[in-house]
Amino acid sequence: MRHLVIILSVFAAQMAGANGLPEPVVDADYAKIDMDQAQLGQLLFYDPILSGNQEVACATCHHPKHGTADGLSLGLGDGGIGLGPDRIADPDNLPEQRIPRNAPGLFNLGAYEFTVLFHDGRIAVDPEKPGGLRTPLGGDMAEGFASLLSAQTMFPVLSPDEMAGHYTENDVAKAVRQGLITGPGGAWDIIARRVADVPAYADNFIKQYEEVTAPDDIKFTHISDVIAMFMAVEWRSDTSPFDAMLRGERELPQLATDGIALFYGSAGCSDCHSGKFQTDHQFHAMAAPQIGPGKAARFETHARDEGRFRVTGDPADLYAFRTPSLRNVALTAPYGHAGSHAELDAFIRDHANPVDALSRYDASQAVLPELAVDDLKAATDPVEIKAISDAVVVQPVNLSAADVAALVAFMDALTDTAAVTGRFGVPETVPSGLKVAQ
């Protein structure tokens, strides 16, 4: 057995140094974790108290049952009932629209290399900005977030479609509509005061932070910091079969090995899906079909999603979206920024020849709860289809059915059962007493 381990270790070292394979993930790739803070963050992640109407939690759209996402092409936040693909629109509080983009997985976000987040990268580490972060809030950005991941949590609670609800419904949504985000009476402060009014939360924050000596000292940044701490440890993912292979601990089945050769070789997947977590953290226009409401300002009526362009204003960024990490990708369907594809093999086939695939896209493969909206406004618009296609600069890749099967087998080898289950799991109850999505 020892001889076999030595042989596998030598093989792994050779593989990691050749064909662009990454080095094994190590502890130093991740920020340090305070487990007590992470445990507090677990409770808040699953607690609907953070949402305007106190009905939606972070876990509603990012649940371990669905690969830390929601199993939908485009989710329903406020105004939805149920969990995952079973979620439906509440007939007594119909959502105005679907959430415009697919809920991404949360794996490895505590790793140092994740310095841009969201499909369009609208928040990023930037040492020249206040607090070291660049966000759409600009100068109104509150300081005190311990990490980029912590700052990320501030956006869903401000979104009417995700967690805030609409301005006639609650005080958080009203504050958002009035542009009151930071400071006393702002949306974040309202949420923080709710949490502070729960004795178990107040006592725990006082225990965790020296500067918090009374409930009134609790800020939204304290809340977001512990949630980020929880996500970072709960869904760290580096014990997949692929990781074990890189560490010389095991071999992979031949089909997965064939997939690795394609992925890091002739198929060119690793040109963008590079590094230890299979992402270059850059933005690429790959003609992913556009379904749903798109990303539009309140005064706009289109259903386009121009991706990175809405952040930079650079025409070269039109319809470009961030390269997602592929860790546990087999569990995070549907795929694409708008969740256009329900099956991984179908997405791989279309991704290899994106322009041709866009011209024949079949929207029936999307997973969309019933809602009386036009989901195909952009997907059936010849002008929009041409604009998306024209943005593509990569050359198509010819993949056979056997190639696709091999690539799927490799991506199956990126599934990490320990990370999917999580270290803390789903709590039975939360201190607010509100219902936990199980």
Q: What is the pLDDT of residues 70-113, one digit of tens each?
A: 999 999 999 999 999 999 999 998 998 999 999 999 999 999 99
Which of helix, strand or coil describes residue 32?
Answer: coil
Rounded CA gap, 82 and 438, in Å?
Answer: 10
Looking at residue 180, what is its pLDDT? 92
Rounded CA gap, 336 and 208, in Å?
Answer: 39
Handedness of CA 301, 307, 100, 144 (dihedral sign): negative
Would you say 155 and 61 are in contact if contact means Cβ atoms under 8 Å apart?
no
Would you say 278 and 416 are in contact if contact means Cβ atoms under 8 Å apart?
no
Both tokens of 85, joined, read 């693909």
Rounded CA gap, 176 and 158, in Å?
Answer: 6
Rounded CA gap, 284 and 242, in Å?
Answer: 25
Both tokens of 226, joined, read 């512990």
Both tokens of 56, joined, read 């939606």
Looking at residue 405, what is its pLDDT? 98
Both tokens of 308, joined, read 């990175």
354 residue type, one letter: P
Rounded CA gap, 222 and 180, in Å?
Answer: 19
Rounded CA gap, 391 and 389, in Å?
Answer: 5
Would you say 223 and 373 are in contact if contact means Cβ atoms under 8 Å apart?
no
Would you say 29 and 111 are in contact if contact means Cβ atoms under 8 Å apart?
yes
379 closest CA partner among 424, 421, 333, 341 = 341
Q: Which residues pair with 30 in a beta bridge?
A: 111
36 closest CA partner among 240, 164, 242, 207 = 207
Rounded CA gap, 174 and 280, in Å?
Answer: 39
pLDDT tens for the chain, residues 1 to 438: 333 333 334 344 344 434 579 999 999 999 999 999 999 999 999 999 999 999 999 999 999 999 999 999 999 999 999 999 999 999 998 998 999 999 999 999 999 999 999 999 999 999 988 788 998 887 667 778 999 999 998 899 999 999 999 888 899 999 999 999 988 999 999 999 999 999 999 999 999 999 999 999 999 999 999 999 999 999 999 999 999 999 999 999 999 999 999 999 999 999 999 999 999 999 999 999 999 999 987 778 899 999 999 999 999 999 999 999 999 999 999 999 999 999 999 999 999 999 999 999 999 999 999 999 999 999 999 999 999 999 999 999 999 999 999 999 999 999 999 999 899 999 999 999 999 988
Residues counted in the chain: 438
Looking at residue 96, what is its pLDDT? 87
Rounded CA gap, 282 and 273, in Å?
Answer: 10
- With a CB cutoff of 8 Å and minimum separation 6, the contacts of 421 are 64
- 357-415 tens-digit pLDDT: 999 999 999 999 999 999 999 999 999 999 999 999 999 999 999 999 999 999 999 99
133-134 and 123-125 beta bridge pairing: antiparallel
Looking at residue 19, what is its pLDDT? 57
Query: Residue with structure tokens 């580096």?
Result: 238
Looking at residue 11, what is its pLDDT? 41
Both tokens of 149, joined, read 């991941």
Both tokens of 406, joined, read 């091999």
Rounded CA gap, 292 and 383, in Å?
Answer: 17
Q: Which residues pair with 133 in a beta bridge?
A: 125
- With a CB cutoff of 8 Å and minimum separation 6, the contacts of 390 are none
Q: Compute φ and ψ for 67, nearest 5 degrees.
A: 65, 35
Rounded CA gap, 9 and 6, in Å?
Answer: 5
79 residue type, one letter: G
Looking at residue 136, what is its pLDDT? 86
| CA distances from residue 209 to 34, 49, 222, 375 in whole angstroms, order as listed | 12, 21, 8, 46
Rounded to the nearest angstrom, the gap between the alpha carbon of residue 253 and the centroid of all alpha carbons in its chain is 29
* Ranges of H-type helices in 235-275: 241-246, 254-263
Looking at residue 292, what is its pLDDT? 97
Rounded CA gap, 296 and 169, in Å?
Answer: 22
Q: Which residues pair with 335 in a beta bridge?
A: 341
- 278-298 tens-digit pLDDT: 999 999 999 999 999 999 877
373 closest CA partner among 168, 96, 172 = 96
How would you class 428 by CB atoms within 10 Å of its CB: exposed for 0-12, middle for 13-18, buried for 19 or more? exposed
Measured from the Cβ of residue 330, the count of other Cβ atoms closer than 10 Å reads 16
